Amino acid sequence: MASAHKPEDCRAPPALQLPAPPVSKFKIGLCQLAVTAEKEKNISHARKAIEEAAGKGAKLVLLPISSAVHFMKHGYIFFDIDILGKISFKESKTLTAGQHPTIVDTGARLLCGPGAFNMTTGPLDWELLQRARAADNQFGEVVATAEHEEAIIVEEIDLSLIELIIKLHRLNLPLEKQRCGDLYQLVDVQSEVSIYEKVALLFQC
C-alpha cells in the first residue's frame, strides 16, 4: 500500500542505485600527527607516516586537517573560539571564505573527514558529532581510536559488510519510507554554467 505522504516524491530525479564497488575490502591508514609552523618539517613528517601506513598495507592514508589546509578554501564557516582564560583561536585570521560550495557529483561509499579539536571543547563534541552523523545514516561503529599523542592506525574496511548492516538497519527502521514527499522535495537541477551552481534544496508547500 502506497504511503499518503509520497516518500517516492522526496527526491527528483530519484536516487540512482550504485554499482557494486570494484574493491570490497581494503585497509585505511589514519595518521594522527603533531603539526608545527615549519612547513617542510611537516611535509617530511607526513611522508614518513604515509610510508609507515603503506608498509602496513594501507591503500588509503588520511592526514590531519592541518596537513590539508589548502582544501579548506571553499569553507563558509570558520572555527573561531574565544573562551576567557582557556583558549583563543580564530581560523578567520588566516583563512578566507570560499565563493562556492564544493560539490562532488558522484556516488560515494566512503566519506573521510579529517579534523582537529582543541582540548577545551573537543572532549565534549568531537566524538559526539561523528556519532551523530553516523546515526543520521542509520549506521555507526567505532572500529579504532587513539589517545591525544601521535599515532598511526591501520584498519580494514569491508564495504560489503557495511552495506549489509545498513540494509538491515534500514529494514528495521525504514526512515526512507517515512519521508514526506507531500511537504518537501530535494531537487537536483543541472546547471548549464557549472556544477557548483546546482540548486541543492527546494521546499515545496
Residue-wise pLDDT for 159-180, tens only, equals 888 788 778 877 887 777 777 8
Q: Residue 102 has what pLDDT?
A: 65
2 inside domain: no
C-alpha 203/C-alpha 205 separation (Å) is 7
Residue 204 lies in a domain: no
Question: Can you read off the three cell numbers belonging to residue 202?
Answer: 527546494
80-131, pLDDT tens digit by residue? 888 888 888 887 887 777 777 666 666 677 777 777 777 888 777 777 888 8
**pLDDT-derived band of residue 79, with 50, 70 and 90 as boundaries?**
confident
Residues 120/110/131/7 CA torsion (nearest 10 deg): 130
The answer to the question of residue 205 being in a domain is no
Cis peptide leading into 7, omega within 30 of 0?
no
Whether residue 1 lies inside any domain: the answer is no
CATH code at 43? 3.60.110.10
C-alpha cell of residue 154? 591501520
Residue 104, domain member (yes or no): yes
Residue of 73, 61, 135, 62 whose CA lies nearest to 98: 73
Q: Which residue do the cell numbers 561509499 mark? A: 109
* Domain hosting residue 62, numbered range: 7-15+24-197
**Do residues 92 and 80 make contact, with C-beta atoms less than 8 angstroms apart?**
yes
> Could you give the number of structural domains in the chain?
1
pLDDT bracket for residue 147 (50, 70, 90): confident
pLDDT of residue 195 exceeding 50: no
Contact status, residue 80 vs residue 103, Cβ threshold 8 Å: no
5-56 pLDDT, tens digit each? 777 777 776 766 777 777 789 999 999 998 887 888 888 999 999 999 999 9
Calpha distance 145→81 (Å, rounded): 26
Residue-level pLDDT at 8:
73
The whole-number pLDDT of residue 150 equals 92
